[in-house]
Structure 1
Amino acid sequence: MAGSYGVMNDDRSIDYTVHEAWPEATNVYLIVILVSVGLFMYAKRNKRKIMRIFSVPPPEETLSEPNFYDTMSKISLRQQLETHSISRKYEHQQPQSQADSAQLSLE
């Protein structure tokens, strides 16, 4: 059992390698925890600086591409204008046809 990680050796003596390595591992864990807490506090205080680093401006290609909702609103506006124009033409033609019918009835 020389290669095993047990506490007892073949000669029934206690293996102290785990006990000797424990303080070193504890120190490493403590350092990792302290650095993590420090980075968390720094990130909390400087959130805007960090977000500025990771935010990427959109490329020019996407800006030239039209937005779907803008296109739909323009189409809707164009349809409303065409409808209004047709109704105005119809209103202007309506009194003339009434005047013609009135003249016909007088004769």
Structure 2
Amino acid sequence: MRGLRFDWRWVAVIAVLVVLTNSSRLPPLVTALVVGGAGVWLLMMGWRVWVREGGAPSRARVTYWRGQRIEVAPQRRGPALPRMRDIGPAALYFIIGVVLLLAAGAIGLRSFGF
């Protein structure tokens, strides 16, 4: 049991599934907010995968001047292109997130009579 970790993301997934299961009994705006929130969260997760947040740290350039070591920050700024193996998961996050946001918009518009 030492290697067992509790992940709060599963609680969020179960909560979204409970709301979607009971969507006929809940107000449409609550359902739209939960589905939209899940879509935004998935888009944020996709962006993290895309920009390699939490990945291997970029190496600083090391220069020596008069016997002292000086570390210079990398010249590259802004998000880098993802590794080839990260493109698939990021695309999956983006696609599902956009679908959930569109579904939330449709639920919200239908609740207002459009």
Give the TM-score of the pair, scaled to structure 2.
Answer: 0.27
TM-score, normalised with respect to structure 1: 0.29
Larger Rg: 1
Identify the structure with the greater strand proportion. Answer: 2
